[in-house]
Chain A
Amino acid sequence: MWILKFLPDFIFHALLLVSLLALVASFVLDSIPFVSTNAKAIQLASAVVLAIALYFEGAISDNNAWLARVAALEKQVAVAEAKSKETNTVIQYQYRDKVRTIKETQVVVQERIVKEAAKMDAECRVSPEAISILNQAAGSKK
């Protein structure tokens, strides 16, 4: 409620207290001339103010409950963000580690190809059709 942002809570507490005291006084303090002559008006005014003050007391209580929930949620979000970053770091390390293993294996395999190339090329001659088929298969990205 926007008005709670502008007015401090103690105003509504004070209104509640004053209206309650005024209402009680209008019934009890008959001996005081001003009170006895304006009892009805005081009762009506204090009842209206009491109702408004009670409404705002409820609003303050509800507002505080929501603020507490927001604070708790903000804390949870902060923890989740930290966990999320931590997860990213772990996944990044795992990815780098696996890629490094692949590259190392590739180096070993290529060394073997270099070593065996002469033997492979002497025993086998690849036909242009085979090359064309392989290129067609490798090129079809869509």
Chain B
Amino acid sequence: MKKYALLLTVILTGCVSVPVERKFPAAPGEIQAPCADLQILDPATTKLSAVVETVVTNYAQYRECQVKTDSWIDWYNEQKKIFESVK
């Protein structure tokens, strides 16, 4: 009788596994690169043009980094919307 009970238990056992695999989306490689360091002035320079040039370069670097951050925000919001659309 015990053997039958054991056999019945084994036969009626259900196994639950998640058959649908979801991959985490990869972000574009370009926006994954870290922002460059700001440029430093030559300590010996007294020329205003050298200062302005460095400041302008740093502004451009900041703008690039800003675009990168904005892209990450867009990427996150869009991917979140797509992720939540699967139910």
Q: Is the pair A87, B20 in contact by a Cβ cutoff of 8 Å?
A: no
**A131 — which chain B residues lie within 8 A by C-beta?**
41-43, 45, 51
Q: Is the pair B12, A1 in contact by a Cβ cutoff of 8 Å?
A: yes
Q: Which of the listed residues B11, B15, B85 has the most CB atoms from chain A within 10 Å of its own CB?
A: B11
**A99 — which chain B residues lie within 8 A by C-beta?**
64, 67
- Minimal Cβ-Cβ distance residue in A for B45: A131
What count of chain A residues pass the 8 Å CB interface test? Answer: 48
Q: Is the pair B26, A125 in contact by a Cβ cutoff of 8 Å?
A: no
Given contacts A126-B45, A126-B48, contact A55 B83 (CB under 8 A): no
**A70 — which chain B residues lie within 8 A by C-beta?**
19-20
Chain B interface size, under 10 / 10 to 19 / 20 to 34 / 35 or more: 35 or more
**B27 — which chain A residues lie within 8 A by C-beta?**
88
**B48 — which chain A residues lie within 8 A by C-beta?**
120-121, 123-126
A95 near B: Cβ within 8 Å? yes
Complex Cα distance, B31 from A108, in Å, reads 25
Q: Which of A18-26, A32-40, A132-140 lies at the interface with chain B?
A: A132-140
Q: Is the pair A138, B39 in contact by a Cβ cutoff of 8 Å?
A: yes
Q: Is the pair B12, A125 in contact by a Cβ cutoff of 8 Å?
A: no
Q: Is the pair B86, A117 in contact by a Cβ cutoff of 8 Å?
A: no
- Minimal Cβ-Cβ distance residue in A for B41: A131
Closest 3 CB pairs of A and B: A117-B49, A138-B38, A92-B28
Chosen A-B contacts, 5 in total, with CB atoms closer than 8 Å, are A2-B15, A87-B75, A87-B82, A106-B60, A135-B43
